[in-house]
Amino acid sequence: MKDVRTSEYVIEFARMATNMYRLGWDERNGGNISYLLYEDDLKDYIDTTKVIREIPLGFDAKELIGKYFLVTGTGKYFKNVERDPAYNLGILRIKNDGLTAELLWGFEDGGRFTSEFPAHLMSHIERLKVEPNHRVVLHTHPLATMSMSFIHPLSDREFTRTIWKMNNECIVVFPDGIGVLPWMVCGTNEIGMATAEKMKDYRIVLWPNHGIYGVGTTLDEAFGLVETVEKAAQVYMMIGERKVINPITDENLKDLAAFFKLNYRKDFLD
């Protein structure tokens, strides 16, 4: 067997964690990522018949039985993932009872998956119903988006409209908009279920005063969604109380949507 640390998916995952830390999105042990893997991804690297140990999930993930995930560990710092992936990451399979994760590689210190892994799995379940090629859920704490959530009305429509109007690119990248939750206690199944409900319609979900959940078919896609929202939020925060005299209008956004043939949230524009 080849060393899992040399696999393309672990290398890409670790590089992204480093980049997210460098951008200031994931302080200390903040943030988490899970990446759905296929049997073909693992066959040259892991003997999937050898289970290191079992870890209770804390909820019923029967819809994901037999699926594999590369996931960050609880209490792990993103800045350390690239240096020591086997300590900071784990590859898990959902056991046939739907209630247990089987550890196949990683968490070499005896650790376990991030406390928000159940929330990730709930989002994976809903996104796979919408997008069969879905693979990635990431949670992160981008500064401008967090800051904006303190001072901006918290509704899907209003938050999306403002973000769309900060950069022409936004409606093109996420024509489905942004889902917004009320403030909730993080790390619970309750916020996981609320996030998954939003994931039926959105690929980006805002946790006010906390961060973002973003999803995608690839690591790049999920990262790019968050990156685009964060850039727009930075523009919003830099404008501050200044009067905007050259806005992106609803008509401008409709023109962009027509040109790029977007299936966008038409009810979010006047």
As annotated, the active-site residues are 116
Which residue's structure tokens are 């995952």?
A: 13
Take residue 261 and report the two structure tokens written for it.
């043939």
Q: What is the identity of the amino acid at 55?
A: I
> Residues of 241-267 as b/e, b for ≥16 C-beta within 10 angstroms?
eeeeeeebeeeebbebbeeeebebbee
Strands 179-180 and 136-140: unpaired
Closest of 199, 239, 252 to residue 222, by C-alpha? 199
Strands 100-106 and 68-72: unpaired
Rg (CA), the chain: 19
- Could you give phi then psi for residue 37, rounded to 5 degrees? -110, 155
Report angle CA 133, 136, 142 to the nearest 5 degrees: 140
Closest of 107, 98, 105 to residue 72, by C-alpha? 107
